Structure 1
Amino acid sequence: MTMTGRPGRVLRGVLAALSGLLLLSGCVVVGGRPVGGPAGGANRPGGVSGDSMGLARPFLPLPVVAPAAVPEGYDPSADAAADLAAALAAARADGRPVLLDFGSSWCEDCQALTTLVQSPGVHQLLARDYHLVTVDVGHYDRNTELAARYVTLPGDGIPALVVLAPDGSKRAAPGAQQFADARNLGADQVANLLVDWLFTKN
């Protein structure tokens, strides 16, 4: 009988024995709880708790974000300047950008965009990641001073969208007439654009 292979078998045996001892002593921790040992850290050296030694925690907890309001359509009686000021104040508090939507209810493409905004996926993105402000521009004769700060009407057409950073600076401005044909857009296209704008800075 030869000794070939015996050192390897001996080493494996020693490792198996050590693993068993560790399990019995409560030194192996999964998800913050020791396996084979008491919960908590009352009898651990230095008062180190099992929670602080957890090994199975790949993700940090995300903060709970309260959904933002998502307006339905364009309200001609709304105070657009006050709505924008309130949205920017909320943006400074939570870091979410403001999405300005200039349009009017007589416009078919504005109606189409309103329908897309209320679709589940787009609505969820807006509520979670933006503060949406819809601004009624009538027949290009309402809220004109506010609109002129961000878009060129009627040249850009409506609906016209602009993304603002929490400090009020323009963060992203879709190309002119990108949404002037909103009736031919799908919810997935709008959702993709919303995600893209979160990472776009002019």
Structure 2
Amino acid sequence: MFRRRRRDETAETAPAAAEDATPEPARESGPWDSEESYPDIDRVDLGGMLLPVGPGFEVQLNVAGDQLVGAVVLVGESALQVHAFAAPKRSGIWDEVRAELAREVTGAGGSCEEREGPFGAELAAEVEQDGGLAPVRFIGVDGPRWFLRGVISGRAVTDAEIAGTLEDVVRDIVVVRGDQPMAPKEPIELRLPTEARQAVEQQASQQGRNGLNPFERGPEITETR
């Protein structure tokens, strides 16, 4: 079963559009744009991103100031961190972002090597963590007016089977860019799912706090079956 967002077209313009347009081949996997047809699976609606969930997954949300800007999927001893950003309409930004990441990693005392991965060029890096160096993978995917960055860490960096699980999460992400004007590299803001927001507000009320401040530990969504 597939979801498709319908576009309005009139009887007068539809034939002309059909003649002029060159159909793009259907893709077999994502990450997907919200305007595309994409497989209907279990996903958490985070507003700017529909994030797939599965048995044993734990989801934590990243915060910048008072905004939700990214998510972390935890599976056992591995993690996938994903952020979606605005991008120019006619060009991707992964080449530029990849070069910036490489400079930042090496400038901080780590190491970085470009490799070919399942999503194209990626970075295999070692970054400083807890006084030592830890291996990570930086993944990037350019979409229509958006860019998705993923960081894989933990056991999945060296375990191909676990890596495959997290790569499948990336493939099933749906990015909801929206029509609002945004500067390139501006984070696509996320939001708490309704049930999670209600739980946070209830907890804040019980603790006698005013307003919503769910970010002391970071909101968590756990999928267990």
Q: Quick check: TM above 0.5?
A: no
TM value normalised by structure 2: 0.22
Larger Rg: 1
TM value normalised by structure 1: 0.23
- Between Structure 1 and Structure 2, the one with more strand by share is 2
Higher relative contact order (CA 8 A, sep 6+): 2
- Between Structure 1 and Structure 2, the one with more helix by share is 1
